[in-house]
Amino acid sequence: MAHIKLPDFEEMTPAIQERALPILEKTGKLGEIFKLMAVDEKVYFATDMMIQKYLLDETALSYDIKEAIALLISKENGCKMCVDVHKGIAKMLGLSEERIEEILQGVDTLNASDKEKALLNFCIRASKKDSYK
């Protein structure tokens, strides 16, 4: 079976190491998705720009809601790796471990407004394969 060797921090280009350092300092580790992107500098920076624009830059949605969407959809899709990546991002954005676990319990028990819950439910529904029905 073919596989890709994921680089350790020391094997990454200096430009990627510069981006990795704050993550290591905040979370203590680099996730597999980060390492996979770090295999190629062009892939890393293209993906990083997308993440900056849609997830990390200030938008009409708060970081809490953006990460709630990402966490809940990742959980709904059964992607443990995605959940772990978004847990790390949520921590970097200032969400507490308690808030992250509350989000992962589901929309119904979440401490959020009715509008926020409606948005979260809409996003979960839209992420499903049969969302066009």
Summarize pLDDT for 32-53 with one digit per residue, the tens: 888 999 999 999 999 989 888 8
Q: Hunting for tokens 């892939």 — which residue is that?
A: 43
**What residue segments make up the domains of the chain, in order of their start?**
12-57, 60-133
**Exposure pattern of 7-44 as b/e (b: 16+ CB <10 Å)?**
bebeebeeebeebbeebeeeeeebbeebbebbeeeeeb
Summarize pLDDT for 87-118 with one digit per residue, the tens: 988 988 889 999 999 999 999 999 999 999 99
Q: 4 near 39, Cβ under 8 Å?
A: yes
CA–CA separation, 42 vs 28, rounded Å? 25
pTM over 0.85: no
CA–CA separation, 125 vs 34, rounded Å? 27
Summarize pLDDT for 49-95 with one digit per residue, the tens: 988 887 777 788 998 999 999 999 999 999 998 899 899 889 888 89
CA–CA separation, 111 vs 117, rounded Å? 9
* Structure tokens belonging to residue 5: 């060797």
Does pLDDT of 131 surpass 60?
A: no
Instruction: Round the average pLDDT of the chain to a whole number and report it.
Output: 90
